[in-house]
Amino acid sequence: MKKIIETQVLIIGGGATGTGIARDLSLRGLNVILIEKQDLNAGASGGNHGLLHSGARYVCSDHEAAVECNNELNIIKRTAGHCVEETGGFFVAVCGDDEKYIADFPGMCRAAGIPFKSVDVTDARQMERSLSEKIIAVYEVNDASINPFKLSIENMNDAVSMGGQYFSYCMLQAVEMENKKVCYAKIQNRISNEIFYIKADTYVNASGAWAGRIAELAGIPINMVFSKGSLLVTSKRITKRVINRLRKAADGDILVPGGAVSILGTTSVRVDSPDNIFPTVDEVDRIITEGEKMIPLLKTCRYVRAYSGVRPLVSKGNNDDREVSRGFTLIDHEKDGVDNLVTITGGKLSTYRLMAEKTSDIICKKHGIISKCQTKHIVLPSTKSGEWSEPGLHITESVTRESRHDPILCECEIVPATAIDTIIRSIKNNKGKPDLTSIALRSRVGKGPCQGSFCSTRILSHMYNTGELTHAAGINDLRKFLNERWKGEQSLLWDQAIVQSSLKEMIHCGLFGLELETQ
Amino acid sequence: MFESALCISLIISISGVIFQLHRFRRNRQFLTWGKCGYHTNFFFHIKGFILNTFLQIKLFKAGKIRWSFHFLLFLSFLYLVIIHALHDVTASVWFNSYGPMVDPYPFLRNLAGLLALTGCIGFLIRKRFNHMIFQDKRIKYKGIFSILLILMIVGSGFLLEASKIISEPVFMEMVDMYSDLNKGTELLDLKLFWKENFNVVFAQTIEATREGLEKGRRLNENYCLYCHSNIRSAFLSSTLAKIIHFAGNRLNRYRIDIWFYNIHYMLCLLLLICFPFSRLFHVLLIPFASSRQNLTKDTFRENKAFINIAFLHACTNCGYCSQVCSVYPNFQITGNQDVLPHSKIESVKTMIENPGAVNHWHLHAGNDECTMCGNCTEICPSGIDLQSLWSVLDKKLVFMGYGDNNRFIKDMSLKEWAKKEDVSIGLSHRDALTSNLSDMADAFENCIQCTICTNVCPIVDYDSNQNDITPHQVMNLLRLGKKHLATGTRMVWTCLTCYACQEHCPQEIRVTDILIELRNTGSVSADLIKQVSRPIRRINR
Amino acid sequence: MKDKQTISCDLLIIGAGFAGMVAAARASSLGLKTVQVGNSSTLFLVSGLFDLLGVYPITSGQSLHSPATGLERLRIDNSRHPYSKTGYIKILESLNFLKFFLAAAGLDYQSNNNENYLVLTAAGTFKPSFMVPKTFIKGCGIKQGSKRLLLIDFNGLREFSAKQIANVIQDAGSDVSVLTIEIPAVSSTLNPIQLANLFEDIQFLKFLSKKISPFSKKTDLVGFPAVCGLNKSLETIGKLEEMTGLDCFEIPGMPPSLPGLRLKNAFEKQLSQNNVIFLNNSKIESHEFKNHQFILNAATQNMNTQITTKGVILASGRFPGCGLHAKRELITETVFNLPVFQPETRNKWYHLNFFNPEGHAINQAGLETDDAFRPVAQNNAPAFKTLYAVGSILAHNDWVRLKSGSGVSCVTAYSAVNDFYNSVSGRDTNV
- One digit per residue, pLDDT tens: chain C, 431 residues? 688 999 999 999 999 999 999 999 999 999 999 999 999 999 999 999 999 999 989 998 889 999 999 999 999 999 999 999 998 999 999 999 999 999 999 999 999 888 999 999 999 999 999 999 999 998 887 776 678 899 999 988 999 999 999 998 887 677 889 999 988 877 778 889 989 999 999 999 999 999 999 998 889 899 999 999 988 899 999 999 999 999 999 999 999 999 999 999 999 999 999 999 999 888 899 999 988 899 999 998 888 999 999 999 999 999 999 999 999 989 999 999 999 999 999 999 999 999 999 999 999 999 999 999 999 998 889 999 999 999 999 999 999 999 999 999 999 999 999 999 999 887 776 64
CB environment A223-235: b (16+ within 10 A), e (fewer) = ebbbbbbbbbbbb
Residue C431 forms part of a structural domain: no
Distance separating alpha carbons of residues C351 and B383, to the nearest angstrom? 84
Any chain A CB within 8 A of the CB of C127? yes
Do C408 and C332 have their domain in common? Answer: yes
Q: What is the structure's pLDDT at B538?
A: 37
Q: What is the structure's pLDDT at B248?
A: 82
Using a CB-CB distance cutoff of 8 angstroms, which residues of chain A are in contact with residue B441? 235-236, 301-302
Do B354 and B474 have their domain in common? Answer: no
Evaluate if pTM is beyond 0.95: no
CATH number at residue C243: 3.40.50
Instruction: Give the closest-approach CA distance of A383 to chain C in angstroms.
Output: 26
Whether residue C326 contacts residue C318, with contact meaning beta carbons closer than 8 Å, is answered with no
Q: Is the ipTM of this complex over 0.90?
A: yes
Using a CB-CB distance cutoff of 8 angstroms, which residues of chain A are in contact with residue B451? 411
Using a CB-CB distance cutoff of 8 angstroms, which residues of chain A are in contact with residue C352? 278, 486-487, 490
Do B90 and B200 have their domain in common? Answer: yes
* pLDDT more than 70, % of chain A: 94
C352:A278 CB<8 A: yes
- Chains with ≥3 Cβ pairs under 8 A against B? A, C
Residue B395: domain span = 288-403
What is the pairing mode between strands C3-14 and C34-38? parallel
Using a CB-CB distance cutoff of 8 angstroms, which residues of chain C are in contact with residue B448? 320
Do B77 and B183 have their domain in common? Answer: yes
- Long-range own/partner contacts, residues A170-178 (CB < 8 A, 24 or more apart): A170/A35, A170/A36, A170/A37, A171/A35, A171/A37, A172/A12, A172/A35, A172/A37, A172/A214, A172/A217, A174/A217, A175/A203, A175/A217, A175/A218, A177/A218, A177/A219, A177/A338
Using a CB-CB distance cutoff of 8 angstroms, which residues of chain A are in contact with residue C318? 502
Cβ within 8 Å of C, B 87-106: none
Any chain C CB within 8 A of the CB of A486? yes
Chain segment B223-250, per-residue pLDDT in tens: 787 778 777 788 888 888 888 888 888 8
Residue C113 forms part of a structural domain: no
**What average pLDDT does this structure show over A274-302?**
91
Distance separating alpha carbons of residues B435 and B430, to the nearest angstrom? 10
Distance separating alpha carbons of residues C66 and B342, to the nearest angstrom? 85
Question: In degrees rounded to 5, what are phi and psi of residue A118?
Answer: -80, 135
Per DSSP, helices labelled H in C246-357 are 258-273
B451:C42 CB<8 A: no
Do B413 and B462 have their domain in common? Answer: yes
Do C152 and C230 have their domain in common? Answer: yes
Domain final residue, candidates B217, B245, B277: B277
pLDDT tier for residue A518 given thresholds of 50, 70 and 90: low
Do C76 and C205 have their domain in common? Answer: no
CATH number at residue C401: 3.50.50.60
Residue C117 forms part of a structural domain: no
B508:C186 CB<8 A: no
Do C340 and C232 have their domain in common? Answer: no
Do C224 and C285 have their domain in common? Answer: no
* pLDDT more than 90, % of chain B: 8
DSSP C63-100: --S-HHHHHHHHHHH-TTSGGGGS-HHHHHHHHHHHHH
Using only C-alpha atoms, what is the Rg of chain B? 34
Q: How many domains does chain B have?
A: 3
Instruction: Give the closest-approach CA distance of B409 to chain C in angstroms.
Output: 23
Instruction: Kindly state the helix (H) or strand (E) to which residue C384 belongs, with its residue range.
Output: none
Which three-class secondary structure string do you get for C110-179?
EEECCECEEEECCCCCEEEECEEEHHHHHHCCCCCCCCEEEEEEECCCCCCCHHHHHHHHHCCCCEEEEE
- Chains with ≥3 Cβ pairs under 8 A against C? A, B
Domain final residue, candidates C251, C285, C312: C251
Do C247 and C277 have their domain in common? Answer: no
Do B216 and B241 have their domain in common? Answer: yes
A409:C158 CB<8 A: yes
B371 CB-near residues (< 8 Å, 6+ apart): B326, B327
Do C291 and C418 have their domain in common? Answer: yes
Any chain A CB within 8 A of the CB of C425? no
Q: How many CB pairs under 8 A join A and C?
A: 160
Using a CB-CB distance cutoff of 8 angstroms, which residues of chain B are in contact with residue A295? none
Q: What is the structure's pLDDT at B103?
A: 78
Distance separating alpha carbons of residues B256 and B253, to the nearest angstrom? 8
Instruction: Give the closest-approach CA distance of A324 to chain B in angstroms.
Output: 37
Residue C360 forms part of a structural domain: yes
Do C157 and C93 have their domain in common? Answer: no
pLDDT of residue B184 exceeding 80: no
Per DSSP, helices labelled H in C11-66 are 18-29
Any chain A CB within 8 A of the CB of B41? no
Do B73 and B92 have their domain in common? Answer: yes
Do B204 and B266 have their domain in common? Answer: yes
- Least confident segment among A189-203, B104-118, B181-195, B429-443: B429-443
Any chain A CB within 8 A of the CB of B469? yes
Which residue of chain A is at minimal alpha-carbon distance from C405? A510
Query: How many CB atoms are located within 10 Å of the residue A221 CB?
Result: 9
Residue C50 forms part of a structural domain: yes
Q: What is the structure's pLDDT at B35?
A: 42
A471:C167 CB<8 A: yes
- Least confident segment among A112-126, A154-168, B409-423, C29-43: B409-423
Instruction: Give the closest-approach CA distance of C206 to chain A in angstroms.
Output: 25
Do B215 and B122 have their domain in common? Answer: yes
B485:A396 CB<8 A: yes
Residue C112 forms part of a structural domain: no
Q: What is the structure's pLDDT at B539?
A: 36
Max Cα–Cα distance, chain A, nearest Å: 73
Using a CB-CB distance cutoff of 8 angstroms, which residues of chain C are in contact with residue B454? 191
Do C295 and C234 have their domain in common? Answer: no
How big is the CA angle at B284 (ends B150 and B153), to the nearest 5 degrees?
Answer: 10
Domain final residue, candidates C223, C251, C279: C251
Do B261 and B124 have their domain in common? Answer: yes
Residue B3 forms part of a structural domain: no
- Least confident segment among A68-72, B103-107, B204-208, C18-22: B204-208
Do C291 and C421 have their domain in common? Answer: yes
C256:B505 CB<8 A: no
**What average pLDDT does this structure show over B38-57?**
67
Domain final residue, candidates C196, C223, C251: C251
Residue C326 forms part of a structural domain: yes
DSSP B18-79: HHHHHHHHHGGGGG-BTTB---------HHHIIIIIIS-HHHHHH-HHHHHHHHHHHHHHHH
Do C416 and C275 have their domain in common? Answer: yes
Do C86 and C165 have their domain in common? Answer: no
Residue C430 forms part of a structural domain: no
Residue B189 forms part of a structural domain: yes
Q: How many domains does chain C have?
A: 2
Using a CB-CB distance cutoff of 8 angstroms, which residues of chain B are in contact with residue A399? 414, 468-469, 473, 477, 482, 485, 489
Residue C315: domain span = 3-105+261-425
List the single residue in C191, C255, C301 with the smallest CB-CB distance to B454.
C191
Using a CB-CB distance cutoff of 8 angstroms, which residues of chain C are in contact with residue A517? 61-62
The alpha carbon torsion through B181, B183, B187, B191 (nearest 10 deg) reads 130
pLDDT of residue B541 exceeding 50: no
Do B225 and B321 have their domain in common? Answer: no
Any chain C CB within 8 A of the CB of B326? no
Q: DSSP 3-state assignment of C293?
A: strand
Chain segment B305-339, per-residue pLDDT in tens: 455 677 778 888 888 888 888 988 888 877 788 88
Using a CB-CB distance cutoff of 8 angstroms, which residues of chain A are in contact with residue B477? 395, 399, 414
Whether residue C99 contacts residue C109, with contact meaning beta carbons closer than 8 Å, is answered with yes
Residue B38 forms part of a structural domain: no
Do B447 and B389 have their domain in common? Answer: no
Do B180 and B231 have their domain in common? Answer: yes
